[in-house]
Amino acid sequence: MSERPPGMLMTVLGIGVALLYVPLLVMIGYSFNASPLVGIWGGFSTHWYRELLDNAQLISAAWLSLRIGFVAATAAVLLGTLAAIALVRFRQFHGRFLLTAMVNAPLVMPEIITGITQLLLLISMLHLFGWPHRGFLTIVLAHVTFCTAYVTITVQSRLGTADRSLEEAAMDLGSGPVRAFIDTTLPIIAPALASSWLLSFTLSLDDLVISSFVSGPGASTLPMVIFSKVKLGVSPDINALATLIIAIVGVGVLVAGVLMRRADKRHQLDLQLAAQ
């Protein structure tokens, strides 16, 4: 598979990649534009970044989004891992089919439907129990729901490769089932947990549609604030904000990628050593 592919294919690949990146590069370029008018270059300036720091609304929205993302991702990893264990370890149980369907449902459901149904559920819960009021908590609940689906699938595939006999050996040596799981299986699925946490965190940070439905007055996440600004047209400080986000995400993904590859190599090496 390593001979040079034909030129035509590489050209299409090049064009495709360029298509993906040109808009982002244009936006990054404009974020340093001194002129507030788009399409007119007014010289290099970091004016919009300073403006960004003074925008209290954006800052508080960003802080809210980060908190929601942190809580939602953590809860989703916990629940998703439990669901994955149930699906991988216990082949037959009542409701296995239902659980599989429920795990996959948020993935095939358009966001707007998920949003509207969750809002109706939350409202009827409020109606029946007087809890929860719309705001931070409801957004977290909604995010946990769809993030759990992604976590379950990621962890499920990793757990499928984990060797059950290690855990059994630990139990034979006198560990309790939970202890045995923590000592043997957990380190093996740790990379999957880390990557699904990151995925959940970004999905939660990025979500607009579902958050808009389930949020209440006073709880505007970062995408909601950005959306309401962007709807009115181009605003240069959003360019600056987007550039910052792209920079952070870019560095984050690169670092995570390198770390994960290293961990994966070590895992492969361990497997080889174990086989010898």
Partner 1 sequence: MFLLVFFLIPFGFALAISFAQTAIRVPPYTDVLSIDHRHHLHLLLKLDNYRYLLTDPVYVLSYLYSLKTAFFATLICLVIGYPMAYAIARTSRGTQAVLLLIIILPFWTSFLLRVYALEGVIREHGLLNQALLWLGLIRQPLKIMHTNTAVYIGIIYSYLPFMVLPLFATLEKLDRSLLEASADLGSRPWRAFLDVTLPLSMPGVIAGSMLVFIPAIGEFVIPTLLGGADNLMIGRVLWDEFFGNRDWPVASAVAVVFLVLLVGPIALYQHYQSKELEGHA
CB of 26 to partner 1, least distance (A): 5
Residue with smaller CB distance to partner 1, 272 or 276: 272
At 26, which amino acid appears?
A: V
- Nearest approach, Cβ of residue 202 and partner 1 (Å): 6
Closest CA to 143 of 100, 83, 200: 200
Q: Residue 78: how many CB atoms within 10 A of its CB?
A: 15
DSSP state of 166: H
Q: Name the residue type at position 181.
A: F
Least separation in angstroms between CB 136 and partner 1: 18
Exposed, middle or buried by CB within 10 Å (0-12, 13-18, 19+), for 88? middle
Residue 33's φ and ψ, nearest 5 degrees, are -85, 130
**Min. distance of Cβ 50 from partner 1 in angstroms?**
20
**Residue closer to partner 1, measured from CB, 136 or 224:** 224
> Which C-beta is closer to partner 1: that of 103 or that of 219?
103
User: Residue 132 gets which letter from DSSP?
Assistant: P
Compare residues 91 and 276 and give the one whose CB is closer to partner 1.
91
Question: Tokens representing 42?
Answer: 């007014």
Looking at the Cβ atoms of 135 and 234, the one nearer to partner 1 is: 234
C-alpha–C-alpha distance, residues 105 and 274, integer Å = 39
